[in-house]
Every structure is written in C-alpha cells, then in structure tokens.
Amino acid sequence: MKKKIILSTLFVITLMLISVILFQNVLATEVMEEGLASTQVLKDVERKIVNPDEPLEEVIREQVLEKEILLNDTSKKALSLYNIEYQNIQSIDNVQIIKDNLLDRTVSRLELSNAQIDIDQNGNIVKLINKEDFSTQDKNRRNYQENNKIEEISYPIKTKEQIQNIIDEVVNTYNLQTYEIVECHNDLIGTWTVVWNNVLANEIINPYDVVVVNIDARDGSIMMFSRNIATPTSINIIISKDEAISKAKTVINHNNENINVNAELTTFRPNFYWENNIKFYQEADFIRVAWKIIINDGIIVMIDAETGEILGGSQEKSDGARAMTLVPTFYKASEATIFADRGLKKLGYSEPVGCQPHCGWVEKIDVEWVIHHKELYGLYISCHGEVDENGNFRNAITDMNNWTLNASEVTGNWHFVFLDACQTATTDAFPKAFKTYGYEGRAYIGWNVSVYETTAYYFVQSFYSKVGSMTLHQAVLSAASEVIAAGHTDCNAGFYGDLNYYGWAW
C-alpha cells in the first residue's frame, strides 16, 4: 500500500512538472511573439506626404557666436586642407543658423571671402565650398552670341594616383581609417569625386556615414567637401538572404524563380516606396540595416534585416522653356516637373502657348512638337534612357510605352537642356544634337549612370533650387554632393557645355 502511494505521488509530481514546462513554453512563445511584434520599426511611424514647397534649407536666424568654441580640433586641423586661416574664421561677427531639411540638421553657416563653411553643433565642418574654384565672371551675363566657341580647358589631373596625396590627407585629417572608398571618378567634367562610406560590423557599408570630396582636375584643390553621420538603430541580422528575397518577390508579384536577383546587406532610410501607388511619403528620420534586393537590374526592394519589414526602395528611370515629366508613374513625378518649371522661370524663360508644365503619358507626335518648337530654348524632360542588352546607352530616350526619340531626330537651337533619364550623359550624342555643347551660354545635363527614381527626384529638387545663384556646373556638383550625403550612392550626374554659364535665358 505504501509503495502504491509513493508511485502515485511521483506520477502527480511528474504531471505537475510537465504542466509547468508546457506552461513555460507557451509563455515563452507568447513573450517571443510579443517581442517580435515590439521590434516592428515601421508600425508606429507616421506617414507624411511630402510637401514640395518646403525648401531644402532655410535661414532660421543670424547670431553672434563664441568663435573659440565654434570649431572642434578636427575642424581646426582641416582648415589647412582648404587653405583657410583660422584667424579668418575668428574675424566673422555674424553667423547664419541654417536648417538643412534634406539632411535634417541645423548648421552654422560662415561666409568668408574665399569659402562658405557649414559647421554642426559639435563643431564639425560638415560642408565647405571653395569659392575660388567656381567662376563668377558670367554671373549676370545675358548677351551671348550664337556661335561663340568656349575656350578649351586643360585638365592635367587624369588619374587617381595624381590625387592620392589629397586622399591620404583627408583620411588622416578626418580619421577615416575604418571607411572605404566607394567612388573615385572624374565623370563630371573638370572634377574628381571621391566618396567614403563607413564600414559596420559584418562588412556592411553604411552610405549614411559618408564623406564626399570634389577635387579640381586643373590644380588639385578641394572644390567642395560634404560630411554626414547617421548610424542604424540596430545592427541585428535575423532575416536570412533567402527570406529577404522571398519577401521582395511578393512586393512586386514576382514568383518566377528564374528572374535575375541580387542581394546585399546595407543600410537604408525607410521611404515607404512600395506602400502607395499614387502618393509618396516623407522618409523616416532613422536608418536600418537592410537587405537590398535588386530584381532584374532595375527594381530595388529594401527588407529590414532584423524584422523582415518592407522598408521601401526605388526603380530605375530615366527663352521659351518647357518642363515635362513623360512617365507619370515616376517617384514624385509631378513635383519634379514643378521644380524644373520654377527653376526655368527663375532663369528668365517663358512659356510659349501650349508649353505649360506637363506630367502624363503622351504620344511621339507630342514629343516631336516640343523638340522642334521654334520658341523653346530651355527644356527639362523626365523619361527613360534606352539601353541595349549589355546596358549601353542607345542615344535614345523613351517612355517605354508610346514613343522613342533618337538623338538624330533632335533639331533646334537650345541653350539649357536637362534630360533626366538613365545614361543620357554617357555619350555626347544628345548634347551635340541639342547644340548645347562647345559654345558659350549653353549647357546640357544628364546622367552618367542608370539612376533610380528617388535619387533623381532629390537631385532635381536640389539642383533647381540652386540655379541662378551659381553656375549650372556648380549647381550640378553641389546638388550631387548633397544627395550623396543623404545616402543616395547612385547620384552621378553629367555635364556638357560652358562651365561659366549660369543658365540665364538670352
């Protein structure tokens, strides 16, 4: 009898232990699920429709600052890179406080005779423009003649090795030993562009922790310097590459296993690109480690590496004046058209009858009507650049739907043309066809790369906000530096024409 009682007691205890274990497992599961839910980073982020009338930067106030605490030691050391004497900084009385809405930061702006310097609240030089490298000789000129050829400029610096000493100085001055050079090229006439990104754990490149230096190909001086630092809120990688690819395919309804897919880890500022086919939202104010999934070489889907959420992404693009966005599905297409139209009007261009800004599908006859118009001298067109099976530009633009226009079909006497389409600056076919190449008072802008919609939009916004206050060449350089600093690594715009031309209608 005693033995049975002992056995019964053991049985009851065993049942109790099993119950406790099961309860703990259920509780653990609930906690884990609750924990995963709490890590969802986009759930409570407010989606704000972008206001195209918000300026990229605005003056908050002017004030007198204590000069001794304005610059930190690194910035004081960096002044020698730009041939600026520290006492010149000390002689400035008033400083403008600027709100930079593109990079979401407030800076102190110092205007010197030979430079403009932006300094953040920690005393870091985050932006510098060397005024001596940019011409002002034609600042107000509007009396250009039709066929005055521009003077040939010699650019002795032709290789990376010739600027290696400057690269080394920048690395040592700003302690960039843990950074990697991700771009070093002279695609923009007269300029070498060098871009550094910080390398995180697991060899992840962070394009939001970036240094951009533009070097004059004539004398090796630093023309512009840009700096931005943003770090991800987490570096946990829980989602596998295969899981991220599967998630990305569902976004664009691709279930075919044979499609071309590339994947890499990077960082990304959520832009909610795939959430709304009609309106686009303002970017989030934080960055995340993400899987960058590239599908068929033209579609990007960003998947959060910790939570598996879809963070956003992008797709590839592409006197009188007209601004036209001929692919209305592009990211913020109508806003880009507005920016271009405002910029052209600021430069003194008018709108002949029927040449109002346009955003929408058209037929080829409409494109030809604009291209052959006798009263148009300025033009912005947003569309696709046509490439062959090897990715080479065919010297043609298209909406991939209704029309294709070859460079050989272009006529007219154009002064300022911006073809906002992939690879339109990789050859001189369109610059020559528009007659914007080789003569005073003419300029052509395009892309040296297959650019993504989001990058192109921010470049257009920044570029047209600057026209009239600097040469078009400088506006291209300045806008590209700003957009790269905002994390858009594919921002590589091209320029042909008169480096001294401010873009004024004449």
Determine the Cα–Cα distance for residues 253 and 250; give it in Å rounded to an integer. Answer: 5
CA of residue 463 relative to chain centroid, distance: 11
Determine the Cα–Cα distance for residues 219 and 227; give it in Å rounded to an integer. Answer: 23
Quote the pTM value.
Answer: 0.86
Backbone angles phi, psi at 82, to 5 degrees: -105, 10
Average pLDDT over residues 106-113: 90
pLDDT digits (tens, 9 = 90+) for 330-389: 778 888 999 999 999 999 998 888 888 888 888 999 999 999 988 899 999 999 999 988
Give pLDDT, residue 413.
87
User: What are the residue ranges of helices labelled H in 129-192?
Assistant: 164-174
Cα distances (Å, whole numbers) of residue 98 to 40, 55, 58, 93, 477? 34, 11, 6, 16, 20
Give pLDDT, residue 15.
30
Average pLDDT over residues 100-128: 91
Paired tokens of 188: 């923009």
The rounded percent of the chain whose pLDDT value lies above 70 is 88
Q: What is the length of the chain?
A: 506
Strand-pair partners of 211: 196, 227
Q: Which residues, other chains included, contact 212 with Cβ-Cβ below 8 Å and sequence gap of 6+? A: 193, 194, 195, 196, 224, 225, 226, 227, 481, 484, 485
Question: Where is pLDDT greater, at 247 or 7?
Answer: 247
Give pLDDT, residue 317.
66
Q: Is 8 exposed, middle or buried (0-12, 13-18, 19+ CB in 10 A)?
A: exposed
Backbone angles phi, psi at 98, to 5 degrees: -115, 135
Average pLDDT over residues 256-267: 84
User: Which of 386, 391, 406 has the alpha carbon at shortest distance from 318?
Assistant: 386
Give pLDDT, residue 89.
80
Determine the Cα–Cα distance for residues 375 and 447; give it in Å rounded to an integer. Answer: 26
pLDDT digits (tens, 9 = 90+) for 129-187: 999 999 898 999 999 998 899 988 899 999 999 999 999 999 999 999 999 999 999 99
| Domain ranges within the chain, ordered by starting residue | 43-133, 241-312, 315-497
Determine the Cα–Cα distance for residues 288 and 297; give it in Å rounded to an integer. Answer: 23
Average pLDDT over residues 254-260: 66
Query: What's the CATH fold of domain 315-497?
Result: Rossmann fold (3.40.50)
Contacts for 385-390: CB closer than 8 Å, 24+ residues apart:
385/317, 385/318, 385/419, 385/421, 385/422, 385/423, 385/424, 385/447, 385/450, 387/422, 387/423, 387/450
Q: Is 462 exposed, middle or buried (0-12, 13-18, 19+ CB in 10 A)?
A: buried
SS3 sequence of 353-418: CCCCCEECCCCHHHHHHHHCCCCCCEEEEECEEEECCCCCEEEEEECCCCCEEEHHHCCCCCCEEE
Which DSSP state fits 283? P
Residue 473 has pLDDT above 80, yes or no: yes
Residue 69 has pLDDT above 50, yes or no: yes
